[in-house]
Structures are given as structure tokens and as C-alpha cells.
Amino acid sequence: MDIGQSMRLLGAKVRGLFIPKPKTDPFAGADVPPAQLAPDSVPKKKKSWKLILVLILVLGIIPAYYFLGAVFTHRINDELNYKVPAPSNGKSTTVEVIAGLIDREVNKTKWAPNVQPFEPAAMLRFGGNMVNFQSGLVRALSTTVYEMENRLARTRGTSQADVDMAAARQGLSRSPETWILDPLPTSSADHEYRKAREALIRYNNRLASGQAVFEVRADNLQGVLDHIALDLGGVSDSLDKQMEDGRKVFIDRRADKLFYYAKGEAYGYFIVLRALREDYGSVLQQRGVDKLYSEMLTELAMAAQMHPPIVQNAAPDALLIPNHLAVEGFYILRARAKLREITAVLQN
């Protein structure tokens, strides 16, 4: 008997290893119905809340981050009455004004051309107005400083270029879109422009103490005005070409970008040329072109103060829709024509 029972017990244990036990009711003895204690209900709620949070983040917070960042950052500094405090005796008004414009655009305003996708103002890279205005403005400043290094800040062409003016020219030559990675680590455009401003301030301080040169001669002014006239001719040609190319597409997405680039360049040259009148007032009066010079500044001011709600590139003879590129180019060409008249007088 003992041996038989032992064999049956051993067989039962062996069968238990291969035959699964029947599932027991997990809600047996519970005081609430099984439907209220379904284990799958809690995870589903967690997943739904996570999905809602992701949708709120994607559809709400991120767009607001970029939209508000662009709205509060966007600024086009086209104030025609911009002036700097009167420089002390011996300093150049033109140098002081250029340093002031750089300070305003890179220190007191966001430098938009090199803004990155993760920054709040990233949408400005796609809107284009502020970006292109600042790019056109720095183009005007760069050209002027280039001529100052080669003409105004040296005695004739045989003397050595001024060290600080050369540093300013080098800093302003940096492409406006340059960031700290391009693609290798480098100095950003706004950083280089700050260094250029510091170099201009050093130059002006040395000029006031008699340690630097600023040649006030008719041939020097003529050279600067010639280069500016070439620049204005180039941007007017770009406007003319865009007037043709823009009518070949349904929506001209480049018109506003070029318009504001030309506006920035016209504004920069207006401020610089008005400052040059302070430095070269005696030369302009001696040659009898001071009135013509004022008329040239008026034409540039007309181009610089244009601010249409929507830049239109319609046919020049359109009845209802204007062509802002044509109007802007008209004023720029009139300013260029007067510059050529002035340089012709200065050359004689």
C-alpha cells in the first residue's frame, strides 16, 4: 500500500509539470465588479494624457515660441533723423556715425541674418525684411570703410594703411550670415562687427590726438562717391532684373527681400553721406556742389523711407497694383545720377 500511494503521488506531480493549472478569477472575493478593476484601464489613461501633452506642445507652445520671438524681435531701424552726439574736436563725424550704426544694429538690436533655427527669432530668416535690411545696411558701411582705409585714412597712396581702419574693414567684410559654426568653429558676423566698431573708435581717438590721418581733399571725396555710385548702380540693376523675373512666376517671393536689401543700402548710404557732408563741407562749398549734394541726399531719403505693407512687383503700367521695385529703383538712380554730377565737378 505505501509503495502504491507513493507511486501515484509521484505520477501526479509529474503530470502537473506538463498540464497547466486552470486560471483563477482575479476578482474572486472582491467587493467591486471586475469592470471597475480592469487592469488595462489605467495604462490607457496615462497614454492618452501623454498624447494630449505632446499635441499641446507641438501645436501650441512651439509655434507661440517662434511667433512671439519674431514679433518682439523684428525691428527695421530706418529713422532718417538718426544722429550721434557731436564728436569732439579733431574727430571724424563719418567714423563716429558708422560706429554708432554698428552699435545700434548688433548691440541694441538683434542681428537677424545669422539667427539659428533653435532661437525664438528664427522665423525672421524666412520673413526676410529685417534680415535683408540689415544686410544691405552693413554692405553700405563696409564699402565706406573700405574707401576710408584706402583713401581718407592715409596720406596719398604711398603711405601705409592705418592699422585700426584696416581692422575695421576686415571686420565689416564678414558675411552677415556667418555664425559661430560655418561649418567649422569661427567668429560670428556680429562679433566681427563689434570688433570693427572698437577699431573705429580707436582710430577716431587717435585722430583727435593727432596720431592718425584723415585727408580732407576733393580727390579723396571723389573716390568715395564714385564707389558709392557703383554700388547704387549695381543694386538698381538687380531691381530691374527682378522686375522682369518676378512677372514670370505666380508669386514673386524674392521681390520683398530685394526691396528691403536695397532699402537698407540706400538708408546706410544716406546716413553716411550726410555725415561726410559734415567732414567735407568746406570742399563742397568751394566746388559749389553743396546744393546738388543736398538734392542727392533727398533722393536717397525717398528710397530709404519707403515702407509698403506688402511689396508689389506688378507691371510698371498697371492700373491698380503698384510696382514698388520700380519706384525704389527710380529714386536710387536719381541719387546715383546726382552723385555722378558731383564727382564730375570734383574731378575738375
pLDDT tens for 134-173 read 999 999 999 999 999 998 888 766 678 899 999 999 999 9
pLDDT confidence of residue 63: 81
pLDDT confidence of residue 1: 47
pLDDT confidence of residue 36: 53
pLDDT in tens, 26-53: 555 555 555 554 555 445 555 688 888 7
According to DSSP, residue 177 is labeled: T
Residue 6: pLDDT band by 50, 70, 90 thresholds? low
Q: 328, 239 in Cβ contact below 8 A? A: yes
Encoded amino acid at 158, one letter: T
Q: Flag whether pLDDT at 132 surpasses 90.
A: yes
What is the C-alpha to C-alpha distance for residues 208 and 93, in angstroms, rounded to an integer? Answer: 11
Lowest mean pLDDT among 64-78, 190-204, 302-316, 327-341: 64-78
Q: Flag whether pLDDT at 2 surpasses 80.
A: no
pLDDT confidence of residue 324: 93
pLDDT in tens, 279-296: 999 999 999 999 999 999
Helix, strand or coil, per DSSP, at residue 200: helix
Largest Cα–Cα separation, the chain? 140
pTM of the full structure: 0.82
What is the C-alpha to C-alpha distance for residues 69 and 119, in angstroms, rounded to an integer? Answer: 8
Report the chain's mean pLDDT, rounded to a whole number: 86
Residue 106: pLDDT band by 50, 70, 90 thresholds? very high
For the ranges 51-65, 116-130, 178-192, 281-295, the one whose mean pLDDT is highest: 281-295
Residues 327-344 have a mean pLDDT of 96
Q: Flag whether pLDDT at 186 surpasses 50.
A: yes
Lowest mean pLDDT among 46-50, 99-103, 196-200, 238-242: 46-50
Residues 294-311 have a mean pLDDT of 95
Residues across the chain: 348
Of 345 and 181, the one with more pLDDT: 345
**Would you report the helix, strand and coil content of the chain in percent, each value rounded to 5?**
65, 0, 35
Q: 138, 169 in Cβ contact below 8 A? A: no
Q: What percent of the chain shows pLDDT beyond 70?
A: 85
Q: Flag whether pLDDT at 9 surpasses 70.
A: no
pLDDT confidence of residue 276: 96
Q: Flag whether pLDDT at 14 surpasses 80.
A: no
Residue 12: closest CA among 2, 4, 24, 22: 4
Q: How many CB atoms lie within 10 A of CB 331?
A: 21
pLDDT confidence of residue 159: 76
Residue 329: closest CA among 291, 302, 296, 348: 302
> Hey, which residues does 181 pair with through a beta bridge?
185
Residues 206-222 have a mean pLDDT of 93
Residue 7: pLDDT band by 50, 70, 90 thresholds? low
Q: How many CB atoms lie within 10 A of CB 3?
A: 6
Cell output for 116: 539659428
Q: Flag whether pLDDT at 342 surpasses 70.
A: yes
Helix, strand or coil, per DSSP, at residue 291: helix
